[in-house]
Structure 1
Amino acid sequence: MPLRRSGPARRTVPIAAGTFVSLLSVLALPLALPGSATASDAGKRPAHPEQDWMGSTIATHEGSGVRAGGSEPRASWSRRGVAGVDVSSHNGNVRWQSLRKKGVRFAYVKATEGTSYTNPYFAQQYRGSYSSGMIHGAYHFALPDHSSGSSQARYFADHGGDWSRDGKTLPGALDMEYNPYGATCYGKSHRAMVSWIHDFVRTYREETGRDAVIYTSTNWWKHCTGNSGKFGRTNPLWIPRYGSSVGSLPAGWRYHSIWQHTSSGHTVGDHNRFNGSFTRLKVLANGR
């Protein structure tokens, strides 16, 4: 399964004859490439990446679930906004058709963490969501104290985080949250953290042609970036808040694009809503 580059976005082209061009990069497995791991990162592999998923530390630091010990009411899936889920290796093989029948229309799948981990269930989760008829995307769990933003962006793009102009692939998402291995802000000052994030999103755009979605909570963003307003004009915001509303947004963003509104939903825990119609979700996928 060869790799290729064409313009800013990279595409994987399977050899099998008769495959539709629009499905080429979506149905191709990410290759296990060496990526851009640095020497300093080699000795700092995450100890438990299977426990690090989108919102795992948010639930710990800011509360988990819509109701304490409870789960999301089924009626909430019919509320305004397009329903979505996010998954990682801790979800195992996901029953995508079941979620599709319940109204879920998009999914984000954890692809990578740092520059040494790839999700062993990525193929089933990423291909499965697409095959069920959902729009899908990939996300990267950031470890800013392990290696540079640029090296992690390249590793992500090379291991599942690439983007395809097929109308069904969302731009990759950068998961910025509390450090599961130590100091909340990974030992970085506000300025250094902003620089790291800028390094990642700049490199991701160079690699794929798209601006990465940024997933973060308002509390973490204020604490670790000094409430930077640097990214609101370029990077869509994905905000976790387990309650009846999104609450206040980080500086720079006038509105959110995705809201992770519970960590205790049906079939898989994390449920989301896109802030707009399904037509607008397709616009985000198409890059217009």
Structure 2
Amino acid sequence: MSDHPSCIDISHWQGFPDFEDVAAQGVVACIMKATEGTSYIDPNRATNYVNATAAGIACCTYHWIKPGNAAKQMEFYLSVVDPVGGERMVIDYEEDGLRLQELLEAVEVLKADPRELQVTVYSGHLLKEQLGTDCNDYLAENTDLWLAQYTDGTPSWPSGTYPHWTLWQYSESGEVDGIDDTNVDLNRFDGDNDELVRWISPAGFAPPKPPEPEPSEAVIVDITAPTNLPVLVTVNGAEVQQRRRRPRLRVPRGPDLR
């Protein structure tokens, strides 16, 4: 399994990464913790979101749901993130004591939002044990699965509700240049990088590519050509206007011409 994935997920534990270095390793997507419970806001998310997007990395957020008050937790999540239309919202469903009904209630709140949000459920053994081989039609129709399972082989999942995972967190101890932490979560998407960017971005949108850096030095090109030969110069596909210089005639100089 590659230690340089196309998608990572982070929280304040990873500090403030250098996203230029992160992107240089092929990371095109990042999921960031936004909130937890009904009062906790990740202090690094807003800054990291701006910096990651500027580096050309597509981003979305997740909420760590706790037992009780599922609807209020989602209202808090929405108020903090203030998502745009079609934005992807992720419910981190893993804490002991959570009940399936609480997950369903949380999804209902997000799906009822008029901004037509996309909803993903992150979970591992907890949801696997609660669903078993049964199919929960509401989850199947309104969410997709981000599976947490740390294994070297193909992850296992009951096919009742989700025929297949969409995103797979296969490691919680990765190392990524630009992040001063040896416990970075690494993920694999069920598709190529272009599909991953479309999936993680708001529906119908993709993040703009970062602007080309300004050159630090002038580029000098010296060409020698016959004086009677037309020369056409293009730079980055655009024609450059040239001043044609007439050849100077050598005039003999004598004492009377000085």
- One fold, TM greater than 0.5? yes
Classify the secondary structure of the residue corresponding to 2:53.
helix
Task: Check whether the contact 2:3–2:186 (CA below 8 A) recurs between aligned residues.
Answer: no
Q: Distance in 2 between matches of 1:273 and 1:161?
A: 27
Unaligned ranges ≥5, structure 2: 205-258
Is 1:287 matched with 2:199? no
Distance 1:282 1:102, change over 3 A: closer
Corresponding residue of 2:103 = 197
Unaligned ranges ≥5, structure 1: 1-72, 187-192
Alignment of 1:114-153 (within 5 A): 114-145=37-68, 147=69, 149-153=70-74
Corresponding residue of 1:273 = 188
Corresponding residue of 2:221 = none
Corresponding residue of 2:81 = 160
Question: 1:256 pairs with 165, 169, 190, which one?
Answer: 165
Question: 1:185 pairs with 94, 97, 102, which one?
Answer: 97
Distance 1:227 1:154, change over 3 A: farther
Distance 1:152 1:270, change over 3 A: same
Letter in 2 for 1:122: R
Q: How far does residue 228 in structure 1 lie from its aligned partner after superposition?
A: 5.3
1:194-222 CA-to-partner distances (Å, cap 9, x unmatched) read 221111111112223123100001x2113
Q: Distance in 2 between matches of 1:216 and 1:164?
A: 25
Letter in 1 for 2:193: F
Letter in 2 for 1:171: R
Q: Distance in 2 between matches of 1:84 and 1:201?
A: 23
Question: 2:13 pairs with 78, 90, 101, which one?
Answer: 90
Q: Distance in 2 between matches of 1:124 and 1:200?
A: 26
Q: How far does residue 256 in structure 1 lie from its aligned partner after superposition?
A: 1.0
Greater strand share, structure number: 2
- What is the CA RMSD across the aligned residues, in angstroms? 2.1
Q: Percent identity?
A: 22
Is 1:206 matched with 2:118? no
TM-score by structure 1 length?
A: 0.61
Task: Check whether the contact 1:112–1:140 (CA below 8 A) recurs between aligned residues.
Answer: yes
Classify the secondary structure of the residue corresponding to 2:50.
helix
Q: Distance in 2 between matches of 1:228 and 1:161?
A: 34
Task: Check whether the contact 2:85–2:116 (CA below 8 A) recurs between aligned residues.
Answer: no
Alignment of 1:5-20 (within 5 A): none
Question: 1:172 pairs with 89, 96, 100, which one?
Answer: 89
Distance 1:153 1:215, change over 3 A: same
Greater helix share, structure number: 1
1:75-97 CA-to-partner distances (Å, cap 9, x unmatched) read 443xxxx7111011111111211
Task: Check whether the contact 2:122–2:145 (CA below 8 A) recurs between aligned residues.
Answer: yes
Task: Check whether the contact 2:71–2:105 (CA below 8 A) recurs between aligned residues.
Answer: yes
Q: Distance in 2 between matches of 1:129 and 1:176?
A: 25
Q: How far does residue 104 in structure 1 lie from its aligned partner after superposition?
A: 0.4
Task: Check whether the contact 2:71–2:106 (CA below 8 A) recurs between aligned residues.
Answer: yes
Corresponding residue of 1:64 = none
1:109-166 CA-to-partner distances (Å, cap 9, x unmatched) read 0000011100011112211111110110000000023x2x22111111111262445x
Task: Check whether the contact 1:86–1:270 (CA below 8 A) recurs between aligned residues.
Answer: yes
Is 1:109 matched with 2:18? no
Corresponding residue of 2:251 = none
Alignment of 1:50-89 (within 5 A): 75-77=2-4, 83-89=6-12
Q: Distance in 2 between matches of 1:224 and 1:185?
A: 12
Q: Distance in 1 between matches of 2:10 and 2:167?
A: 15
Q: Distance in 2 between matches of 1:240 and 1:246?
A: 12
Letter in 2 for 1:214: V
Q: Distance in 1 between matches of 2:32 and 2:60?
A: 6
Distance 1:93 1:264, change over 3 A: same
Corresponding residue of 2:129 = 223
TM-score by structure 2 length?
A: 0.68
Classify the secondary structure of the residue corresponding to 2:67.
coil
Q: Distance in 1 between matches of 2:134 and 2:40?
A: 29
